[in-house]
Amino acid sequence: METSKSQNRRSFIGTAAALGTAVAAGTASAATKRLNKRQIDPDLFRIGALNVVGYSHLNGLWGPVMNSRKGQKDTPLSPMRITHCWDPDPDDSKAFAETYGCEPVKNFDDMVGKVDGIISGGYYCHPWNHIIHEPYLEEGLPNLVNRPFANSLAKTKKMIETAKKGGATIICPSAMELNEAMYRAKAWATGKQILCYGATNSFDDYPTHGVHGVYLMCKAICEAGNPVKAVAYRTDKWDDPPGILIYEHTDKDGRQFFGSLNQVSGSWGTINIHTPESYGGESFRIRTGTGFPFNKTEIWAPPIWAFHNMALHGEMPQTFEQIYHKTQVFLAGWKSVLENGGFVELEGFPEDWESPYILPKSAEDKTPKQLKQLFG
């Protein structure tokens, strides 16, 4: 039994390492060719913005990091500029363009050949990300895909395969994973024998904000060499706190351990990791920053900076394997809570199983209806 676990673990590490090496070499080469071919000025990087208004990070959080808004006292913190935008609602697209000083396009794929990178800010688009991002992945452009990545493993695989074929890079970020605290947690945990951990995450529903906690945990624990084996999610309502996710992991030696993620209100994100040498555990807490520029630089700017770095140098902050794994962990949590909270194994998870995307508290939102009408 233990031998089998160790072999499975070594197989996972070998696959991830091989895939990560291939991705790093392939995407860096593709990015270099793309930059040389188009003679892109790294100090004037043109961004095409997708899904800009309906439940989108672009409209008020990421957008001002790149462009000054009309009538606002914004100080952009990136040399990238949004030059074109698309939203399933043409009126919203025009309003965004007016605010941010960019050009709206009629169709989602009309920005091919006009921009150097793609940023999608929406939540509701994730069941159709494999369609919406396809022309830009085929073009070999860097793509920022807001959380969650997709609502099925089949769609996740399709996006990854399209990116690899086109030489494109992808980042699927969360402010809860792309921060100094979680990078310190990962660095501290790497190489240590973890006994258990406890994490918290600010929460209002699982797919829009619970996913931030999933990504936080994957950064600190999984990327330190401890993949998730199974997930259990217990709560009375997945669109209200409280709730708890229990994760079963295996470490590099095939040893089993467990961790918890409490979905609560009033907590940005924390994790406390226990090892034999650290009595009481080592704690890491996300700080959101007080006053400008720290209220931007601690949380909202890092995903945009990480995307820009990836776009310029072809170096993805996570491998395709890691993006796939955290999507699988997210979907396993969904399946668990919909099936009475039992453990759901990642191995053998059905690729065609799709998670819900409609939010009970926003059931009348026009955006998912518009997306469904456009993409089926």
pTM of the predicted model, to two decimals?
0.90
pLDDT of 1 strictly over 60: no
Nearest to 117 by CA among 92, 162, 82, 93: 82
pLDDT class of 14 with cuts at 50, 70, 90: very low
Using pLDDT thresholds of 50, 70 and 90, give the confidence band for residue 206.
Answer: very high
In 3D space, the residue among 315, 289, 311, 312 whose CA is nearest the CA of residue 301 turns out to be 289
Q: Per-residue pLDDT for 127 more than 90? A: yes
Q: Judge whether 111 and 105 are in contact, CB under 8 Å.
A: yes
Residue boundaries of the structural domains of the chain: 2-171, 181-299+321-345
Contacts of 373 by beta carbon, 8 Å cutoff, 6+ apart: none
Predicted pLDDT at 42:
63
Which tokens hold the place of 300? 């909202």
263 Rama sector, left if φ>0, alpha if ψ -120 to 50, beta otherwise? beta
Instruction: Count Cβ neighbours within 10 Å for each residue of 217-252 and write b for 16 or more, e otherwise.
Output: bbbbbbbbbbbbbbbbbebeebbbbebebbbbbbbb
347-366 burial, b at 16+ Cβ within 10 Å, e below that, comes to eebeeeeebebebeebeeee
pLDDT of residue 363: 86
Residue 339, token pair as written in the block: 């099936």
**Total residues found in the chain within this entry:** 376
Query: What average pLDDT score do residues 181-189 get?
Result: 98
The reported pLDDT for the residue numbered 227 is 98
Tokens of 303: 């995903």
Return d(Cα 181, Cα 149) in angstroms, integer: 23
Model confidence pLDDT, tens digit, residues 28-65: 445 444 544 445 566 689 999 999 999 999 999 999 99
Query: Could you count the other beta carbons within 10 Å of the beta carbon of residue 266?
Result: 8
Q: CATH fold of 181-299+321-345, please? A: Dihydrodipicolinate Reductase; domain 2 (3.30.360)
Overall average pLDDT of the 117-123 stretch: 98
Confidence of residue 288 (pLDDT cuts 50, 70, 90): very high
Tell whether domain 2-171 is in CATH 2.20.25.240.
Answer: no
Check pLDDT > 50 for residue 346: yes
Percent of the chain exceeding pLDDT 70 equals 89
